[in-house]
Structure 1
Amino acid sequence: MATVPPRFAVSAAAPWLVLLLAVAALSFSVPVAEAAELVELTLLANAREKGAVCLDGSPPGYHLQRGFGSGEHSWIVNLEGGAWCNTTEDCSDRRLTDLGSSKFMKAIEFEGILSNERSQNPYFYNWNKVDIRYCDGGSFAGVADGKDRNGTKLFFRGLRIWEAVVDELMGKGLATAKQVLLSGCSSGGLAALLHCDDFRSRFPQEVPVKCLSDAGFFLDVKDLSGVRFMRSIFSGVVHLQNVGKVLPKDCIAQKDPTECFFPAQLIKGISTPTFIRNSGYDSYQVGNIVMPGGSDPGLSWSSCKADIRNCTSIQIEAMNGFRKKFVDDLIVARYKRDWGLFIDSCFNHCQTPFRISWHSRISLRLGNKTIAEAVADWYFGGGHGVKEIDCEYPCINPTCSSQLDL
């Protein structure tokens, strides 16, 4: 099964979602902002000597935009998303893209949580901001080697990339940070959970260090045909890339390592304050878990996938069953005082990397707050968690339709 989708985990199993995202990206009726400044790529120094390389053996990279003014000593470190490769064939294909090789990486624009525009990112705009590029296909977690179908070596070095890039950033000012946020979206959001406590341990206790996982809370549930799509993907990643070193020791002592790769298990052991932003009807998971194409040969779910208002009562029941499982899996986070939740009911996936959904006049809202406002209230709120969970269908949040759900 191919798992080399475009960034933010849009799978080849869900071409309808690719179209939705393309339309959403072009259709917002909002004033066009000035083009954001391109942030150049920095390749990791001495990557080969450190064993920290992309799938194809090229050095990994990151984009660093320096903070200024009151944000000079504050840092956001963001982990890029882009699904996973769980087989040798998938990883072989992936190494021919920017999700597996720095040879294809270019300068990028920082938007949303990484923007340096105050109107778009009022609480973090002048912080030092880093986007760590994702080129290992294993949520920055693996330590192994393999060979592709032609015998060429594949490097599963996500954990070493994580460690080496953070070490290099520490030498560029991160070590003296006064406040820090580790973030990530989709597979990067999962990576933020995997590395949250390790990241916290690198700083003095008096430095506020927190983690943000956007659209990274993946569920271990069956689709309509009884197949556990995410478990099949995660099992391949866990065993092919040898991710055991980052999994909670108390979990793997009692459960299969694949189960321990799921956020429902990860959050039980995370002690660092963490904010989880997700949709209860996550579009990637709905398209690949609740109603993937292969489980719907008669295409009876097509119109429901396109618009929730077209779903039958039976289909709504299935969607709400998924949401209930999602909310139930979050019970640990709900009772952690210094954690935050922003669980909307919009049909979306990643939201923090985009200016429209992060903070704009047409952003989705919970508790009358944009995602940016909720994250800021949680981060700067003296330890009090912001916990917002949207209602389930047929209750509809009116702010969902206002921004076409990225």
Structure 2
Amino acid sequence: MPGLLTRSALATLVVGLLVYAVLPYIYPHYKLLPDLDPRAPSNTVLVPGELHDTGPEVNDSKFGESFARFFELGEGEETDEPVIEEQSSEETPELSDESEDSGESLNSTDVGYASLGAKLIVLSKAKAQKAGALCLNGLPPGYYYRPGWGLGARSWIVFLRGGEGCPTEKECYLRSKTSLGSVHKSRKWRRLGGIMSGDKQRNPEFHNWNGVSLIYCDGFSFAGDRLSPMVYNGTEMYSRGRRVLDAIFTDLLRSGMAGAERVILFGHSAGGLGALLNSDRLRRLLPPGVDFKLLVISFLQPKFPQGSYARGVKKLLQNMATIHNISGTLPSDCVKNYPSKEHACLLPSILIPLQSVAAFYVNSVYDRWSMGNLLRIRCEPNRCKKSKTRNKLQGWSAAFAEQVPSMLKPNDGVFVANCVTHMIALDDRTWFSTKVGGKTIAEAFGDWYFGRGYNHTHLDCFSLDCYPNPTCA
């Protein structure tokens, strides 16, 4: 009898495992919700950021390689040290496989979104065509939305994600086939983290705000306004980032943002550039009296003109400005100062001082993108053995420490940590844990935003001798 019971129990277990394994293939929409899935880590969060694509997996390295080619740099130093690798948060299982153009507007009363994540909203073809707002592949743009509730119902955070850009028609063609050039295969839901985390305990001041995350599909920082399409390999590509941004803001205004009291425009890397370039115009679209501020992540760079670095920056920015036709998006005062070199208005040292909207900047000293693409340094800063490389790193950090304060306006704030990541402040790990002077990014930003205290300049030690900051994720 015991043996029979054992065999019976074993048979039941085998059948159960087979059903569990086969059911998703028989019924494709069957998925355990993330919060109910015992296999999903409890702290897993899908956050806005370059490494978290909302469509098919993208090989980000190929875009980095194209940038390196435009910087006219070689293979970099030969080193036996490990290449700096970025560790991204594990993605939460998606809640739906469907990804059709919804053409719907958000409903700010549907607080059910808050517990599930942010819902994909894709502009209808009629709205997109009327506004001339198209992704690279010619399809309508979209965004993710999670409604606010309670005291946060009239406060908004709008995120512009990063993802570099395409400096040639060929690169734009390749990009148009990925989730950085279309919303067609985007997931229908995504989790929000960092400043948009819904965790009341960790994020008491912003957890219940309306959260919006735009899909970056235009090719260059929501800045292009090219009327005629680019053509490559018989395919048309559209650079309409400025119109995409305006069309989505118009959609948000019609659906609840018109009653906003506070709006934070939040951009990372290429999205940070987009936030700075478009801030004055977007502020004019908002109702009078709205408290409008910027949060800019991983955009700060010092002037560091060393040989091929300076030539590469010039060539890259010239190509970007030309093929995407960004003249109308650049600050008019800057264009007057650089009439024959408009691309100079894209440099942080020139663009940031011209900003009229108050901004809070968050950066790593040894930003991973800058290290790999601008300086071509592949080793961890504290493990680089060659004196030439160490001198270059020290020169970079010294320039950073000297120049960053002079870029900012009196009402700006800044947080720079001695880390090597490009993804700082984009997820719960970094937003709530990375510290400078005893304050986390979340605490420093909250103090600046709500006007608590007087010192909003949080600069870490910039020397190699104190790398890394022990709180770096």
Q: Do these two structures clear the TM 0.5 threshold for a shared fold by scoring above it?
A: yes
Map 1:2-401 → 2, pairs under 5 A: 11-13=63-65, 20-22=85-87, 25=89, 37-45=116-124, 46-106=127-187, 107-144=189-226, 145-218=228-301, 221-222=304-305, 225=308, 228-255=311-338, 256-291=341-376, 302=378, 305-334=379-408, 336-359=409-432, 363-381=433-451, 384=454, 386-396=456-466, 400-401=469-470
Contact 1:222-1:290 within 8 A present in 2 as well: no
Partner of 2:100: none
Name the SS for the 1:230 alignment partner. Answer: helix
Q: 1:162 to 1:191 in 2, by over 3 A?
A: same
Report the count of equivalent residues: 375
Contact 1:338-1:383 within 8 A present in 2 as well: no
TM-score (norm 2): 0.73
C-alpha distance in 1, partners of 2:232/2:464? 48
C-alpha distance in 2, partners of 1:64/1:206? 24
Contact 2:144-2:212 within 8 A present in 1 as well: yes
C-alpha distance in 2, partners of 1:219/1:51? 36
The amino acid across from 2:218 in the alignment is D
C-alpha distance in 2, partners of 1:104/1:222? 41
Compare 78-87 and 200-209 and name the one that shifted more: 200-209
Tell me how far 1:383 sits from its aligned partner.
Answer: 8.9
Tell me how far 1:322 sits from its aligned partner.
Answer: 1.7
Name the SS for the 1:156 alignment partner. Answer: coil
C-alpha distance in 2, partners of 1:37/1:147? 39
Name the SS for the 1:314 alignment partner. Answer: helix
CA radius of gyration, larger in:
2
Tell me how far 1:77 sits from its aligned partner.
Answer: 0.7
The amino acid across from 2:380 in the alignment is A
For the aligned residues, what is the CA RMSD?
2.7
Identity %: 33
TM-score (norm 1): 0.84
Contact 1:136-1:158 within 8 A present in 2 as well: yes
The amino acid across from 1:240 in the alignment is I
The amino acid across from 1:274 in the alignment is A
Q: Which segments of 5 or more consecutive residues in structure 2 lack a partner in the other structure?
A: 1-49, 54-59, 69-74, 76-80, 91-114
What do residues 264-288 of structure 1 show as CA deviations (whole Å, max 9, x unaligned)? 2112221111111111211100111
Partner of 2:30: none
C-alpha distance in 2, partners of 1:200/1:147? 30
Partner of 2:29: none
The amino acid across from 2:280 in the alignment is D
C-alpha distance in 1, partners of 2:337/2:245? 27
Tell me how far 1:176 sits from its aligned partner.
Answer: 1.2
Name the SS for the 1:99 alignment partner. Answer: coil
Contact 2:160-2:274 within 8 A present in 1 as well: yes
The amino acid across from 2:351 in the alignment is L
Name the SS for the 2:290 alignment partner. Answer: coil
What do residues 210-254 of structure 1 show as CA deviations (whole Å, max 9, x unaligned)? 001100234564567556433333222110000111112122222
C-alpha distance in 1, partners of 2:456/2:435? 13
C-alpha distance in 1, partners of 2:84/2:459? 28
Q: Which segments of 5 or more consecutive residues in structure 1 lack a partner in the other structure?
A: 27-35, 292-300
Name the SS for the 2:156 alignment partner. Answer: strand
Partner of 1:29: none
What do residues 353-385 of structure 1 show as CA deviations (whole Å, max 9, x unaligned)? 2110011xxx22112111111110100016956
C-alpha distance in 1, partners of 2:243/2:181? 15
Name the SS for the 2:144 alignment partner. Answer: strand
Q: 1:232 to 1:219 in 2, by over 3 A?
A: farther
C-alpha distance in 2, partners of 1:312/1:122? 46
